[in-house]
Structure 1
């Protein structure tokens, strides 16, 4: 089969001919129809997880995908050939990923049936970004009457987080450049603050405190490194919470300030994906696809994607 893979950390991604994976007794064998790009894909290729888990090369890149089950292992009962599915297909020890013509996934892993009304491209964009957003919002315990700032609101995770937080009844303040204000407001944000460098309107914290002089209840920080957290936390009321998805927080330090801090590590599951698929199907969750990239063009586009600013999801057509 054809796959987009690397021969070692830091190597350029290229289209290769590699053996199609063999499904185990409790795995499904899927012909991929679309895959979703996530920033972690290029970070893994660069060696960000070297030494943390075993890898096999050539390593097929990509985590998220959607396709049609072609075969199942002997012990599989939840899926059958012909089922349309979506989920996460990365298996680093076996060198497998989603940017390929075929993938395998464990029956009890992060895979779910795709609702018939949801296009493959939409489903492939959901697993990591919207799954992470769901966990971030749930961790923050948002509900009606709470005010939350979402930093990184225009990216794939952020756009889903805005929608989910608003559905919980929270007042959502979203970071957005002026040309993206309409986008995040349409998704459910009540207010926006301009995070652009040199905006002249003060820091993000200054702008938020101008809107909410008594502070806010929660910050969902999807982008900031550790050195930026000091300015962020001054927005929070005592008893507030900040959630980071990039591991930027020192929970012990913030506990002394009466702030709960959580470095969230996404833990995907089949039931969570099923819920997200249902939300997509009903229209309760929308995914903005920024670009659809043909398979043959992806190796060249990956170099640009890792340095670009997301306004939605990038999907690969397989």
Structure 2
């Protein structure tokens, strides 16, 4: 099967098309013919060398953590899914260099799979598994109550757009977006609701915010706006160690599940979340290179998606 892989650690130029065997299934896995695959900032970080030592990856390395597609084969112990089911999933590609989603077929554990309803297009389904679950879990980790305030940085990005909507429409928080003027204009154009927006400094919220979801791990920003005893959840892989902070900061590590995917699908079908797509690229060497060039700008609005088949 065709896959696009990192052949050398470094820039977005270091992709190439490779031909690898269709994955063999373990007893609790399904084989998925990939329709679309999501691209995330963590893909770029891994391309540049992050997490290789932790997961013992080799080159070539197939990236990607989220897919939509059609089940084509079942593991010997699988009873809850059928061949032909349309699904979304987050592949568990730890310790396997070739198990990423930038490929025509992916083997996925059944506990990471959720059925895709007809009203959810394949392209939008591929935007949910990593970004949507990251937003949901991060907000749950903040453990804020209805009416409390939260700042969501990177409000127009893949995780940020999910987080803005879940915080406002599901958790009933006071939502303060943070980003550029263009991001604010973009959120307004797609009717994402929020209570306020920070483009630059805003003295109104200094030391007064209950929680912050910060993809970038900026201690300077977080310490300015978070109240004493408040909590920050960051998505950055490495958070600087600083003693005696007056607030709690935690690096979020995703704990994916099919039940969470089902929850997010329900939010979509009930009209509580809208899934914007920034751009779609083909599963080619040049297509994946361009997708990574785009995500490396850190100025995406919505999700970047790869069309596989």
Asked whether the equivalents of residues 9 and 47 of structure 2 are also in contact (C-alpha less than 8 Å), the reply is yes
SS of residue in 2 equivalent to 1:230: helix
Q: Deviations over 1:190-209 (max 9, x none)?
A: 111114xxxxxxx3xxx1x3
Q: Which residue of 2 aligns with 1:305?
A: 294
Q: Deviations over 1:147-203 (max 9, x none)?
A: 1111111111111111111121111111132222243353221111114xxxxxxx3
For structure 1, the 5+ residue unaligned runs are 196-202
Give the whole-Å Cα distance in 2 for the aligned partners of 1:283 and 1:2.
Answer: 36
SS of residue in 2 equivalent to 1:173: strand
Pick closer, same or farther for the CA change 1:289–1:231 going to 2, 3 Å: closer
Give the whole-Å Cα distance in 1 for the aligned partners of 2:85 and 2:48.
Answer: 34
Q: Which residue of 2 aligns with 1:193?
A: 198
* Among 229, 233, 236, the residue aligned to 2:226: 236
> What is the Cα deviation at residue 62 of structure 1?
1.3
Q: Which residue of 1 aligns with 2:9?
A: 9
> What is the Cα deviation at residue 262 of structure 1?
1.7
Tell me if 1:72 matches 2:74.
yes
The TM-score normalised by the length of structure 1 is 0.88
User: Pairwise mapping of residues 1-318 of structure 1 onto structure 2 (< 5 A)?
Assistant: 1-10=1-10, 12-94=14-96, 95-108=98-111, 110-167=112-169, 168-185=171-188, 186-195=191-200, 203=201, 207=202, 209-210=203-204, 212=205, 215-224=208-217, 228-246=218-236, 247-248=238-239, 250=241, 253-254=244-245, 257=246, 259-296=247-284, 297-308=286-297, 309-318=299-308
More divergent stretch after superposition (166-175 vs 1-10): 1-10
Q: Deviations over 1:242-275 (max 9, x none)?
A: 1111142547532xx2x22222111111111111
For structure 2, the 5+ residue unaligned runs are none
Asked whether the equivalents of residues 150 and 213 of structure 2 are also in contact (C-alpha less than 8 Å), the reply is yes
Pick closer, same or farther for the CA change 1:34–1:76 going to 2, 3 Å: same
Pick closer, same or farther for the CA change 1:156–1:3 going to 2, 3 Å: same
Pick closer, same or farther for the CA change 1:38–1:231 going to 2, 3 Å: closer
> What is the Cα deviation at residue 302 of structure 1?
3.9
Give the whole-Å Cα distance in 2 for the aligned partners of 1:139 and 1:92.
Answer: 23
The structure that has the greater radius of gyration is: 1
SS of residue in 2 equivalent to 1:28: strand
SS of residue in 1 equivalent to 2:83: coil
Q: CA RMSD in A?
A: 1.9
